[in-house]
Amino acid sequence: MFTGIIQAVGKIAAIEPLQQGVRLSIDAGGLDMSDVALGDSVAANGVCLTVIEKIAGGYKVDVSRETLNCTAGLGETGEINLEKALRLSDRLGGHLVSGHVDGVGEVIRFEPVGESHELVIRAPRALARYIAHKGSITVNGVSLTVNWVKDEDFSINLIPHTLQATNFKHLRAGKPVNLEVDLVARYLERMLNYGKESS
């Protein structure tokens, strides 16, 4: 589990092809790796990945073809948002995030509004029902609050600190982003629909 509070902006430094995916060499970008062991989870752009090797200044992970097909931003070099897995003693500054991407959205608009930026994203239709006004959403691993929703489109207000502490500064219209909807919304839907599938 994660909180959606980014701890460092790292970088995919190298990509090695595998038979069924890729091996990434990740520059940890200042993320403290002293308490990270082989087998631990680190979220990269919101995708939970397992550390298979520690290297100078970073680590390596294997990414399956399935994960590459269901996410964005892991098949190319460049900056990525990093967060180590949540410990029970940590503060929950964002919201509970599983690191399992639900779908890939598309940036529709990203522009300054006063001191902040407005980010408008179009979600896949199947995910739109889980996105609510003032609800939580995870975009590229970042826990954010939804400002407004209209059909599949939703808006987020990004304060200057969020832009500085994440890779969002590289966003532009047309760019794909990883989305994870609020776990609570999924469980509520399951409870409300339980038993209806077979009736």
Model pLDDT, residue 182: 86
Q: By percentage, how much of the chain surpasses pLDDT 70?
A: 96
Structural Rg of the chain based on CA atoms: 17
Residue indicated by tokens 């990434």: 24
Sorted by where each begins, the domain ranges of the chain are: 8-84, 103-191
> Domain 103-191 class?
mainly beta
Read off the pLDDT band of 89 (50, 70, 90). Answer: low
Candidate from 15-29, 35-49, 80-94 with smallest mean pLDDT: 80-94
In this prediction the pTM is 0.92
First-to-last C-alpha distance (Å) of the chain = 34
pLDDT digits (tens, 9 = 90+) for 143-196: 999 999 999 999 999 999 999 999 999 999 999 999 999 887 777 777 888 777
What pLDDT is recorded for position 185? 78
129 DSSP assignment: T
Q: What is the CATH number that goes with domain 8-84?
A: 2.40.30.20
Cα–Cα nearest to 103, from 131, 77, 80: 131
Q: Please tell me if the domain spanning 8-84 has the same topology as the one spanning 103-191.
A: yes
What pLDDT is stored for residue 184 in this prediction?
77
